[in-house]
Structure 1
Amino acid sequence: MRVYRFWRYTYEVWTVTHFLLDTAFIGHVKAEIRIIMGFSIIVWVVAIGFLLVYFALCAEVSETADRMNRNRLVWLLFSIFFSPILSAFMLHCLGPIEKGERIIQYHKKDSKNDIIIKEADERLAQRRNKV
C-alpha cells in the first residue's frame, strides 16, 4: 500500500493480485485500487443529511394531511415516491375535508341497483297511499 497526496485529497493505492488469473496468465496480474480518504466521509455525511431532511419533510406532509382530515398514509407514500414539496403543494391546493363530508364519502356506496330499489319502494308506497 502506498499513500499519495493529490491536490487536497489523500488517497491510498492498493495493489491486488487475483489468484484465479495467475493460472491463466504467466506471472501475477495486478490491479490498483485507489481509495480517496476524507472525500468519501464528506459525501456520506451530506447524503445522510439529505435523507434525514427528505424524510422529515415527508413526515411533515403526513402530519399536515392528518390535520386536514385526509388519509395520512396515502400522503406519506405519495411524498416519499414523488416529492415532499410537490405533495405539500398539492395538499394545500386541495384543502381540508370537513368531517361530515369525509363520513359521507366513506359510507356512500349507492350502486345503481340500490337506487332502483329505493325508487321502486317509493312508487309502491305512493300506490298504497292512493288505494
Structure 2
Amino acid sequence: MINVRELIHDPDFCDAFTIIRNTGSTWHKGVQAQVTETIEVEGIVAPSSSKDLEMLPEGDRQNGMKTFYADVPFHITDTDSMSDICVFRGQKYKLLQVFDYQSNGYYKAIGALVGDSP
C-alpha cells in the first residue's frame, strides 16, 4: 500500500481547517451545556466529487459539500458521539460520512455545508 500521509502535509496540496468536536455535556444550574474541543488540522480540502456523493444515501446528498482528508480521525454521529464540524474558510461543514484509510496514512470525510459563519 502507498502511504499518502506526506501529501496531506505537502504545501502544494494542504490547507488549514478546524475540527469542532463534541466531547460531552455538563449541567450548570439545571441547564445542560455541550462541551466542545477545537482541533487545528492541516489536511486537504476539496469539493466533493460525483463518486464521493454516490457513497452517501440519497437524503444526505446536498449542495455545498466538501471532502476533507487528514491524518487525524474524524467522528460522525453514533450512539456515543455527535458528528464533527469542520470549519474551512469561515464556513461550517457537518460530517456525514467517514472513511478510515489509516493503513494508507489518512482519513477521509464528506461534510455538508450547515452555516455561513464559524
Task: Give the TM-score normalised by structure 1.
Answer: 0.19
In our comparison, the structure showing a higher alpha carbon Rg is 1
Identify, as 1 or 2, the structure richer in helix. Answer: 1
Name which structure has the greater RCO, CA cutoff 8 Å, separation 6+.
Answer: 2
Identify, as 1 or 2, the structure richer in strand. Answer: 2
Task: Give the TM-score normalised by structure 2.
Answer: 0.20
